[in-house]
Structure 1
Amino acid sequence: MKPTKIKTILIGLGRIASKLEKDPYRKKPCTHMGVLMSDWGKSQFDFLFGFDTSPEVCLEFQNQWKTQSETVFPGPYVKNNSSTIDLAIIATPSHTHEFYAKKCLQLGIKNLLIEKPVAMSKRGAKSIAKLAKAKKARVWINHERRYHPSYVFVRDELKKGNFGILKSIRASVFTSAKNPGIAFSKFGGGPLLHDGTHAMDLIHWLVGKPKLIFAKMERPKKGMVETRAFACFESKPNVEIVLDVSGGRDYFQFEIDIHTSSHRIICSNDGFQFFESAPSKLYKGFQSLKLYQPKQFPKPESSNAFLGIYKEIQSVIHGKSDHMEGTLSENIQILESIESIYRH
């Protein structure tokens, strides 16, 4: 018997929810609606309604997807049908995540997918977790790189020891202060919280929760959010980690640079590069790093992170699996690491 489609609502209809699907350069689907309206998404999910506080955004959403939306949550539809909703996706601005998550849990919705960061603080995330436990609900956080086949390949090969012994990680997230968006807004949280959370998530995913050794914050004026956060961590066994999250660039760059005893792997928005130890052509008797391509590295056409998290959600809701990647407990630890940098 074919499983029943997962009845889904979307809260917040902006960039990551819908608008970025119009970006001609991004691999599709690249938004929540892009997945839900894809051929696979339509076969697994029954999209019911969208919500956004902006009438203009709602109208644009309706014209783009030929579906309904409301400007007030929970609205009459959800009030009357909350018991039949299987999944709520929260893609609103970060400072509202906690509010909408609690509203959905109080309505009895048993599965939530929340955009990162889950809340503006560890305290807020714990509050969501407490209510979710009481309501026996499941909560995913969309750190989508965990589901990207290329990142999964690197993590699996590291775990198997095929890239040698992990020695160090340098994670960098560089953004432009000319167009900072929500990260520099009045609602709080600078680039470390809003953008650096992706890098911190991957660090936790690769080595577990690290110990902070040193941190430095740069702020243009007292009381303002940071323009740069620089931190050094260490994790067992003896992995040194550097995190640099900075604004003021004329470009956007996300990169994880991994060094092992025999390899170097660069994972970035510009692609992945692999280097292995080989006899040097520059220095006799020395080893150098040689660029190469692993045979099992995923092909570009198979690399889509958004499909990955939705396939996991579909599998868990239908009882085919109980494995969840972006859990609340992990994200509470990520916020603990971020807050330790702010406090240092």
Structure 2
Amino acid sequence: MNPPKIKTILIGLGRIASKLENDQYRKKPCTHMGVLMSSFGKKHFEFLCGYDKNSEACLSFQNQWKKEYKTVPENGILPVDKSESIDLAIIATPSHTHEFYAKQCLKLGIRHVLIEKPVAMSSKGAKVIATLAKKSNANIWINHERRYHPSYKFVKNELINGNFGKIQSIRASVFTSAKNPGIAFSKFGGGPLLHDGTHALDLIHWLVGKPKLMKARMERPKKGMVESRAFAYFQSNSNIDIILDVSGGRKYFQFELDIHTNSHRIICSNDGFQFFQSVPSKLYQGFQSLKSYIPKQFPKPETSNAFLGIYKEIKEVFHGESNTMEGTLADNIQILESIESIYRH
């Protein structure tokens, strides 16, 4: 007998919730609704309703998916009754509203909540969510989806097993275009460091733990505005040097993690993964050089989908098949604290 499906609501019906599924270049599914409507999603999740304050977003959602929606009033209070049986709430609203809707979901008694990154606009707000979740014995996931990507998981496992040597340094860069910054440059605050750099810091925490900020520099277009660039130097507890460069002023989008070990170099990027290993040099006698190669067991592109990964974990935890949760709320509080240390520097 198959276990019952997970009764699910979706709060926020915009880009990451639904609309990006229309992007012909992205690997599908690439949105929350895309997962829920996939063969995997339909097997394990029962979609109940979508919610949004924007009536146009609601109509677009209905036209795309032919699913029920409810318009949220201006005060943001969800038209949901405590008597409704809801297992999972997905919060895909603008960042500054994450804490607000998380509180509502927990007070409604929803015991499984998936929140888009960042979980809140501050570590203080994230701690409020953590306190409420503990009281209600609820599970909170934050969608830093790269943790669930088979290629990133492969790199981490190889590093743990020592097959790539010992990490010496990491350079993380997140570059976006300020011509289309979205909420990052809005009146709500929080520039590219909070909204985009959080992905890089999440991977750094995932690989080496919470690092210590050594030095930082911020660039702001005008006094009082959110940053257009953040540059920071961290050190891990094991003395790994880490450079973080986040900018909203480029004419391109680039996410890259460049990891140097004592024997390898690994580049993890939205443009693909590259691997180099130390071999006897053909340029300099008696020296070693880095040579490009493809490691055995590296996941094939067709098997790599991060969005499915987090939902598979939710399904397993919900049904008691596993108690493992990647990217815990405690992790994300530390990530926000690292971001705040840069802002304060």
> What's the TM-score, normalizing by structure 1?
0.98
Q: State the shift of 1:236 in Å.
A: 2.5
- What is the root-mean-square deviation in Å for CA atoms of aligned residues? 0.9
Q: State the shift of 1:248 in Å.
A: 1.3
Equivalent pair of 2:152/2:268 in contact (CA under 8 Å): yes
Q: Give distance in 1, aligned partners of 2:134 and 2:194.
A: 25
1:276 aligns with 2:277: yes
Q: State the shift of 1:63 in Å.
A: 0.6
Secondary structure class of the residue paired with 2:216: strand
Match of 2:64 in 1: 64
Match of 2:81 in 1: 79
Q: Give distance in 1, aligned partners of 2:158 and 2:197.
A: 24
1:275-310 per-residue CA deviation (whole Å, 9 max, x = no partner) reads 000111221221110000001100001100000000
Match of 1:53 in 2: 53
Q: Give distance in 1, aligned partners of 2:206 and 2:13.
A: 29
Q: State the shift of 1:223 in Å.
A: 0.4
1:260 aligns with 2:261: yes
Q: Give distance in 1, aligned partners of 2:97 and 2:239.
A: 38
Structure 1 letter corresponding to 2:250: R
Structure 2: stretches of 5+ with no match in the other structure: none
> What's the TM-score, normalizing by structure 2?
0.98
Q: Give distance in 2, aligned partners of 1:174 and 1:246.
A: 5
Structure 1 letter corresponding to 2:309: G
1:213-244 per-residue CA deviation (whole Å, 9 max, x = no partner) reads 00000111110000110000011222110000
Identical amino acids, percent of aligned pairs = 77
Match of 1:234 in 2: 235
Structure 2 letter corresponding to 1:59: L
Q: Give distance in 1, aligned partners of 2:4 and 2:108.
A: 21
Equivalent pair of 2:82/2:109 in contact (CA under 8 Å): no
1:31-67 per-residue CA deviation (whole Å, 9 max, x = no partner) reads 0000000011000000000001011000000010010
Match of 1:13 in 2: 13
Q: State the shift of 1:75 in Å.
A: 5.0
Count of equivalent residues: 342
Point out 4+ residue stretches in structure 1 off by more than 6 angstroms: none
Q: Give distance in 2, aligned partners of 1:327 and 1:137.
A: 12
User: Which is further off, 175-184 or 35-44?
Assistant: 175-184
Q: Which aligned pairs between 1:328-339 and structure 2 lie closer than 5 A? A: 328-339=329-340
**Structure 1 residues 293 and 26: CA distance shift in structure 2, 3 A:** same
Q: State the shift of 1:16 in Å.
A: 0.3
Q: Give distance in 2, aligned partners of 1:112 and 1:326.
A: 13
Structure 1 letter corresponding to 2:40: W
Q: Give distance in 1, aligned partners of 2:49 and 2:179.
A: 35
**Structure 1 residues 224 and 275: CA distance shift in structure 2, 3 A:** same
Equivalent pair of 2:117/2:144 in contact (CA under 8 Å): yes
User: Which is further off, 99-108 or 231-240?
Assistant: 231-240
Q: State the shift of 1:74 in Å.
A: 5.4
Equivalent pair of 2:103/2:129 in contact (CA under 8 Å): yes
Structure 1 letter corresponding to 2:54: S
1:158-196 per-residue CA deviation (whole Å, 9 max, x = no partner) reads 000000111000000001111111111111100000000
Match of 1:137 in 2: 138
Secondary structure class of the residue paired with 2:9: strand
